[in-house]
Amino acid sequence: MAQHNFTPTHYHTAIGTHESVLSLADGDTVSTTTVDAGGHDASGEQVTEGGNPQTGPFYIQGAEPGDSISITFDHLMPNRDNGYTSSKVAANVLDPGHRTGFDNDRVVWGIDFDAHTATPIELRSRDATPNVRSISPDSPLGKLTLPLNPHPGCFGVAPPRGQAISTSTSSTHGGNMDYKRFNQGVTVHFPVFVEGALFHVGDGHALQGDGEIVGTGIEISFNITFTAHLHKGKTIRWPRAENDTHILTVGNARPLDQCVQHATSEMIRWLTTDFGLDEQTAHVLLGEAVEYDMGNMFDPAYTMVCKVSKDILKQLGVM
């Protein structure tokens, strides 16, 4: 259970069977950094092409197709004092033909590490030479101060069939799920499709609303520490996760309906197989106690999350 420090020198904008940068034993911990969605590092310098560039991949020793691995996010924190968002809700999230009367300026947010918040400070146009306007702290936009909730928007393992899948999208291998509760303390499980699993991580968000509906969280570079575990012979179909309060399953697809179908079916498999509930009890439990969250409704594949409270599982005597 070694502790590794890893400084990335290159990044990937597709998640695939790339050469690994570090080999991890079961239980090893890694402290590393990620650049922001546009490829900018802690100093704000662009060090790689944009598009959710990933740090890694990390090779998990012993991982083979049919196994699963888990990643626990021990520490997640922006490593610079500003990030950015888009300012316009994506057309696919609004009524077809809904009209907006402003430009999709970039919003620069200042990070207050003491208060653990972020606030819009500047609007930058998308022109080649951006028109920059500072945001008055007395304007409604300038008063919008939101609590930090650092989470990586995109992470996952190499997909099957020799595929390399763009970090703009997601599937059974994880990818660009943009789910705000994949934050510090969560443990996320992935199916293993290739030898070593090959874990990638990037696209840090200082915080994000449900659905990532402007197409960004607050995009920012991260310091990140994670611990990897191998679950030998434990086969799963979709990402699963666990935090302090819930167990969670993830579906990545379009439309949102299909995400829900994947996540709910995976939850039933989990409840019946690992928690030993009979099938009918699992269904009744979900019917009256399931919760759903939206990851993103922006990427080529959307993300929905199915959740069950740990308190209920404890009440039933299966956790």
Applying the rule CB under 8 A, the residues between 77 and 106 that interact with a copy of itself are 85-98, 100-102, 105
CA distance 122 to 116: 19
When asked if residue 144 is in the footprint of a copy of itself (CB under 8 A), the reply is yes
Residues that bind a copy of itself (rule: CB under 8 A) add up to a total of 87
Tell me the angle at which helices 279-289 and 256-273 cross, rounded to the nearest 10 degrees: 130
When asked if residue 209 is in the footprint of a copy of itself (CB under 8 A), the reply is yes
Q: Tokens 């020793």 appear where?
A: 61
- Which one of 20, 164, 184, 310 is in contact with a copy of itself (CB under 8 A)? 164
The residue (of 126 and 232) whose beta carbon lies closer to a copy of itself is 126
Restricting to residues 242-261, which ones interact with a copy of itself according to CB under 8 A? Answer: 253-258, 260-261
Restricting to residues 2-61, which ones interact with a copy of itself according to CB under 8 A? Answer: 12-14, 16, 51
Q: Choose the stretch contacting a copy of itself; rule: CB under 8 A; options: 58-66, 72-80, 227-235, 279-287.
A: 279-287
Residues in the chain: 319
CB of 219 to a copy of itself, least distance (A): 11
Residues 6 or more apart whose Cβ sits within 8 Å of residue 65: 160, 192, 193, 194, 195
CA distance 75 to 95: 39
Q: Tokens 């302090």 appear where?
A: 244
When asked if residue 239 is in the footprint of a copy of itself (CB under 8 A), the reply is no
Q: Choose the stretch contacting a copy of itself; rule: CB under 8 A; options: 40-48, 63-71, 164-172, 192-200.
A: 164-172
Restricting to residues 103-142, which ones interact with a copy of itself according to CB under 8 A? Answer: 105, 107, 120, 139-141
Task: Using the CB atoms, write b or e for 182-204: b if 16+ within 10 Å.
Answer: bbbebbbbbbbbbbbbbbbbbbb
